[in-house]
Every structure is written in structure tokens, then in C-alpha cells.
């Protein structure tokens, strides 16, 4: 459908505007689109009236799907008067169910125009309502966006706080891990160093070990000042004032230009001997009094407080280790003196040669309870004995002395080996010293060609006959001496022709941890069998050395070794020395 209006006056323009608005409403154009179309048309008509002349307003309606909808066009009635200005066009979309559109002419009376004006106001009001709705919707979305932004900002702040807290926790965890690693390193070092210090029983070795342990990890230099006159005379060096204070007070001292802040350590002015270096002076404490001072300089600027605590503890342990080593050395000297006094020279006897060897253990306490003895009885019999007291040290040496003295006293009555061992068993059992002993006793009667022997928990004697054959005297021995058991230890007899050699020994000669005792006894028998008869007869001392050599050169022995060789001469002869 096409409509045309001619516009020359304001009334014509109003009539065309009203008709177009009605036509748009009839075509189903929405209020907003309709208002926009009419507003644009009004602006265009205002320009046309300003220019003057006659203008044509055309409206064409093509309902979808045949066309786009309502098209409005404004052009000049006289194209030559319009010049080059092109026509103005605007299009509004109509509804698909608009159907046929009919719109009559617009009356020119005031009532009709007023009605048209109110209709335009209704469209404007409707548009304003739409705008209000849009503004409310925009305000709602703006507020929603604001709230969302606030939430995002708050979330970012929470995430920032959580991230900062996470970084702080991670840093604290790393710090705690480093501190734990450092603490574990100190504890490991303290344990290893303590084990090294307590493993030695040599005071000089402990003093030498301290610098080797501490330099350069925990100290640049280490000086050990011992309260020993011999050490003072040897060194003749001045000591820092802080070391003297540490020795007097028995507390660690720190000498530096600034306080050290070390736990349990007193601060002192810098040392005049080394004013530019901090000094840590720690007393070597014992149960009674300090026995020295350990003076250290730091590996860097100063000590870490935890390192200082560890150094104080290590020095305390070093003092205990040094005290134990000195006590051990003192007891060893006493025991060695006692043992040397007990291991007397062997007697010279008619028709018999004796040779003895005693070797202390190469590891551990060098003084044990192994002992040997030989003496004559009133009837001229020769008693030889080898014994072993359990344990080591001064206690075992004293017990050995008591057993040796008791045996000589019991032997005065002329008792045989079995009776002597029985009396020693009762003697040791009555003492109740929680010490036990083993022993083997052999008695030689001159002119009888017979050997009487007895053993109590001891390795069996090994006998070599003149024809070179060697056998072990393995008759059943008695039990160990001193155990809570009543026993009568029997005697055993063996023929002993001239030229025979008897070996009495302790288990340190034949026993090894990995092999036991039987292979060692077999090696002793082979070594005795290999000995030359002339050497046994003429050089029993040298034979004893040659006998020990293959038995001891395989490894260090953990126990004392005692060997007593008794050789019966083929032609009895008198020795120059009297009977013991």
C-alpha cells in the first residue's frame, strides 16, 4: 500500500506526521520503533518547512515476507528546486500478522489534531516507561556489577592474604627444615665425635683428636691447655685471661670486643694475646675439678649459639673421656707393676727345663688374669701351673695374685694337682667375688717317669713324646673354679719318658672368635710336632718363641697369651740355682 502527502505549511506537516504515526501503529510497528520513526520524520519536516516549497511525504507498506515493512520517504515536489539533495528515507519493521492496512485522511479540525497530539504523548510516555524500565534494569545490573566487583576485589584481597600467608608458611617451613637439618648435623657430629673420643684410652690421643674433629667446621684454631706439670713445662706458652677465668670458675667464657650472647657462656673483654679475634674458652670438666681448658677461635665472624651449645657439650664429654683414659692409664700402670711382680723367674730343677711366655692382649685392656708359676714341693716334685682369671684390669690381676699365693700355700702339704684345684675352687667360691678362673696343674716327680695332672675348665695340655708324636691330654677336666658347685677334681697320670715336652697354655693362644678353640689346639700340636728335638733340649727359650710365631702372626689377639713349656732332660742334671 502506498500513501502520499504534500507538505507546504505547518498544518500539512502535522497532518502528514499524524497519518504516518497512525499508519505505523496500524502496521504493528512497536512503540519504540514508531516513536523513533516519527521523531526522525518530524526533524526532517522541520528542515523542509525551513527551506520552504512543496515537499512530498510518501509511505509504502510491504508486510513481511514480501518486504521490510513501512518505508517513509520525504522528497521535494520539484526535483530542480531540491538541487542535488537526495530523498530522505526511513524504514520500520512491521509485524508479520499486520494484514491489510487502511488509513483514511486526517481531518483538519482542532479536536482531531489534539487527539493526535495526545496519541503522540502516549507514545512518548510509553517510550519513557520503556526507558525507565531500561534505566532500572541498567541500575540493577550496575549494582549487580558493583557488588560483583566488590566481591572480586574482596576475593582478590583474600587470595592475596592467603598467598602471603602461604609464602610466610613456606618460608617458615624452609627455615624450620634448615634448622632441623642443622640440628641433625650437630647431633650426628656430636655422636660421632663422642664415639671417637670414648673409643680411645690414650690421653695424648684424645688431646690430638680434638683439633682434628673441630677444625675447620666449628673452629679455626683449637688449643688444649691441660693442668699437667709435664705439659706446662713442655709448652711454656702464656694463656688468655678468659682461659684462666674458665679454669677458676668452671664455666665457659667468651672474650671479644662485643658480647657474644651465647647460652651459658660468660662474656669477657677481648684477650690481650689476640685482641682482634673472639675466643671461646671451655673448661674440661670432670667429676672432681677441671683438668684443662679448650680455647677455640670461630671459623667465621662469630659462633652460632646452637654451635656454641654443642661445643660446650662436646668439651664436657671430652673431659669425661680424658678422665677415664687417665684413670685407665693409672690402673694399668698399677696392674702392670703387680703383674710383673707376680710373673717371677722360673726355678732351675733337676732333670727338667722350663720356659714361659706371657703376652698381653693387643686390643683393649692390656692387663688380664692369665698367670703361670712353677715351684717345688718338699718331696722334690715340681709343680707347674697355668691359670686364667675371668676379666681384665686391676681386679683380675689382684685375684690372680690371691690364687697364686693360695696355691703355693696349699702345695706345702704335698697334695696332688686335683686336690690343689679342689682347694682353690673352695677358696674362690667362699670369696664370692663374682670372678671365676680356670687352671691346669702338672706335677713331675723326678725319677718316676710319670706325669700327674688335673684341669678345671681349662684347655687340655699338649704332650710331645721323644719319638716326635704329639697328642692332647683330653681326659675330662673339672668345672671352672669358683662356680656355685661342689666338686672334687680328679688326678690323671701319663707316662713321661726323658725327652718329652709338655705345653701348658691359656685359651688366648689357641682361641679365635671366628674359628673357636679346637683348630687352635690343632695348630699348637702341629707346631710342637715340627720342633726339632735338639732345639727343645738345648734351647727351650728359643723354641718357645718359634712355637708362638705361627700361632700369633695371623691376627691380633683379643686375650692375653700364656705358654709354659716343660721339657724332661734325657740325662738329669743339677742346675746352679736352688729349688724355689
Quick one: average pLDDT of 304-326?
90
Question: What is the DSSP secondary-structure string of 375-435?
Answer: EE-TTS-EEEEEEEEEEESHHHHHHHHHHHHHHHHHHTTT--HHHHHHHHHHHHHHHT-S-
Is the N-terminal amide bond of 61 cis, ω within 30° of 0? no
| Whole-angstrom distance, CA of residue 299 vs CA of residue 217 | 7
Note whether 510 and 517 are within 8 A (CB): yes
Note whether 50 and 145 are within 8 A (CB): no
Above 80 in pLDDT, residue 577? no
Out of 151-160, 277-286, 547-556, pick the least confident. Answer: 547-556
Q: For Cα atoms 34, 38, 43, give the angle at the middle one, nearest 5 degrees.
A: 150
The residues of the chain that CATH labels 3.60.40.10 are 343-568
Alpha-carbon torsion 403, 405, 408, 410, what sign? negative
pLDDT confidence bin for 214, thresholds 50/70/90: very high
Which tens digit of pLDDT belongs to each residue from 58-117?
A: 998 876 666 668 899 999 888 776 566 788 998 888 876 655 455 555 555 666 665 655
Q: What is the pLDDT of residue 574?
A: 39
User: Under DSSP, is residue 565 helix (H, G, I), strand (E, B) or coil?
Assistant: strand
Q: What is the pLDDT of residue 84?
A: 60
| Whole-angstrom distance, CA of residue 123 vs CA of residue 126 | 5
In terms of Cβ atoms closer than 10 Å to its own Cβ (0-12, 13-18, 19+), residue 302 is middle
Higher per-residue confidence, 532 vs 391: 532
- Helices H / strands E in the chain, number of each: 14, 19
Which tens digit of pLDDT belongs to each residue from 8-54?
A: 888 888 888 888 888 888 888 888 888 888 888 888 889 888 888 89
Above 70 in pLDDT, residue 362? no
Count of CB atoms situated within 10 Å of the CB of 190:
15
The residues of the chain that CATH labels 3.30.450.40 are 200-333
Residues written for the chain = 580
Q: Where are the alpha helices (DSSP H) in 53-108?
A: 79-82
CATH architecture of 343-568: 4-Layer Sandwich (3.60)
pLDDT confidence bin for 579, thresholds 50/70/90: very low
For the question of whether the overall pTM of this predicted structure is more than 0.85, the answer is no
Which tens digit of pLDDT belongs to each residue from 114-139?
A: 565 556 666 666 767 777 788 888 88
CATH of domain 200-333: 3.30.450.40
Q: Mean pLDDT over all residues of the chain? A: 84
Q: Find all residues with CB under 8 Å of 571, minimum gap 6, and list them.
A: 498
User: Under DSSP, is residue 110 helix (H, G, I), strand (E, B) or coil?
Assistant: helix
Above 80 in pLDDT, residue 556? no
| Whole-angstrom distance, CA of residue 61 vs CA of residue 96 | 12
Higher per-residue confidence, 238 vs 416: 416
Above 60 in pLDDT, residue 365? no
Amino acid at each position: 500500500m502506498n500513501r502520499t502527502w504534500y507538505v507546504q505549511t505547518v498544518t500539512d506537516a502535522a497532518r502528514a506526521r499524524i497519518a504516518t504515526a497512525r499508519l505505523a501503529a496500524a502496521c504493528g510497528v512497536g512503540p519504540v520503533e514508531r516513536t523513533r520513526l516519527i521523531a526522525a520524520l518530524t526533524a526532517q519536516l522541520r528542515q523542509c518547512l525551513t527551506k520552504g516549497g512543496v515537499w512530498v511525504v510518501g509511505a509504502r507498506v510491504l508486510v513481511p515476507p514480501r518486504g521490510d515493512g513501512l518505508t517513509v520517504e520525504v522528497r521535494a515536489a520539484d526535483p530542480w528546486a531540491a538541487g542535488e539533495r537526495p530523498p530522505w528515507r526511513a524504514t520500520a519493521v512491521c509485524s508479520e500478522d499486520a494484514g491489510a492496512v487502511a488509513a483514511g485522511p486526517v481531518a483538519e479540525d482542532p479536536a482531531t489534531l489534539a487527539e493526535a497530539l495526545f496519541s503522540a504523548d502516549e507514545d512518548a510516555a510509553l517510550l519513557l516507561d520503556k526507558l525507565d524500565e531500561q534505566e532500572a534494569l541498567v541500575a540493577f545490573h550496575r549494582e549487580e556489577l558493583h557488588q560483583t566487583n566488590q566481591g572480586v576485589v574482596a576475593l582478590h584481597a583474600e587470595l592475596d592474604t592467603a598467598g602471603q600467608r602461604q609464602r610466610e608458611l613456606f618460608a617458615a617451613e624452609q627455615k624450620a627444615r634448615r634448622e632441623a637439618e642443622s640440628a641433625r648435623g650437630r647431633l650426628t657430629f656430636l655422636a660421632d665425635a663422642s664415639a671417637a673420643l670414648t673409643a680411645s684410652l690414650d690421653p695424648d690421643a684424645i688431646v690430638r683428636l680434638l683439633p682434628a674433629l673441630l677444625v675447620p667446621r666449628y673452629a679455626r684454631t683449637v688449643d688444649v691447655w691441660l693442668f699437667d706439670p709435664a705439659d706446662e713445662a713442655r709448652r711454656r706458652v702464656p694463656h688468655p685471661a678468659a682461659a684462666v677465668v674458665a679454669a677458676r670458675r668452671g664455666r665457659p667464657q667468651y672474650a671479644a670486643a662485643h658480647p657474644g650472647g651465647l647460652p651459658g657462656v660468660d662474656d669477657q673483654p677481648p684477650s690481650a694475646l689476640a685482641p682482634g679475634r673472639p675466643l671461646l674458652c671451655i673448661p674440661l670438666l670432670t667429676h672432681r675439678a677441671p683438668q684443662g681448658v679448650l680455647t677455640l677461635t670461630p671459623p667465621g665472624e662469630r659462633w652460632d649459639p646452637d654451635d656454641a651449645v654443642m661445643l660446650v657439650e662436646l668439651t664436657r664429654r671430652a673431659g669425661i673421656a680424658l678422665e677415664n683414659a687417665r684413670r685407665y692409664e693409672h690402673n694399668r700402670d698399677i696392674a702392670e707393676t703387680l703383674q710383673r711382680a707376680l710373673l717371677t723367674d722360673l726355678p732351675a730343677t733337676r732333670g727338667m727345663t722350663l720356659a714361659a711366655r706371657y703376652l698381653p692382649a693387643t686390643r683393649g685392656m692390656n692387663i688380664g688374669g692369665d698367670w703361670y708359676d712353677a715351684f717345688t714341693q718338699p718331696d722334690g716334685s715340681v709343680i707347674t701351673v697355668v691359670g686364667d682369671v675371668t676379666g681384665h684390669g686391676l681386679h683380675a690381676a689382684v685375684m690372680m695374685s690371691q690364687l697364686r699365693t693360695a696355691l703355693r700355700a696349699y702345695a706345702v702339704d704335698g697334695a696332688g694337682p686335683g686336690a690343689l684345684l679342689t682347694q682353690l675352687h673352695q677358696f674362690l667360691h667362699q670369696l664370692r667375688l663374682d670372678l671365676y678362673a680356670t687352671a691346669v696343674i702338672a706335677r713331675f716327680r723326678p725319677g718316676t717317669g710319670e706325669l700327674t695332672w688335673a684341669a678345671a675348665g681349662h684347655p687340655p695340655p699338649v704332650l710331645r713324646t721323644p719319638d716326635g708324636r704329639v697328642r692332647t691330654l683330653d681326659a675330662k677336666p673339672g668345672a671352672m673354679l669358683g662356680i656355685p658347685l661342689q666338686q672334687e677334681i680328679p688326678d690323671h697320670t701319663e707316662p713321661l719318658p726323658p725327652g718329652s715336652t709338655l705345653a701348658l697354655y691359656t685359651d688366648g693362644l689357641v682361641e679365635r672368635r671366628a674359628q673357636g678353640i679346637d683348630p687352635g689346639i690343632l695348630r699348637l700340636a702341629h707346631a710342637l710336632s715340627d720342633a726339632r728335638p735338639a732345639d727343645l733340649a738345648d734351647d727351650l727359650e728359643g723354641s718357645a718363641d718359634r712355637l708362638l710365631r705361627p700361632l700369633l702372626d695371623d691376627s691380633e689377639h683379643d686375650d692375653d697369651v700364656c705358654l709354659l713349656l716343660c721339657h724332661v732332660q734325657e740325662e738329669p742334671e743339677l742346675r746352679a740355682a736352688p729349688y724355689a
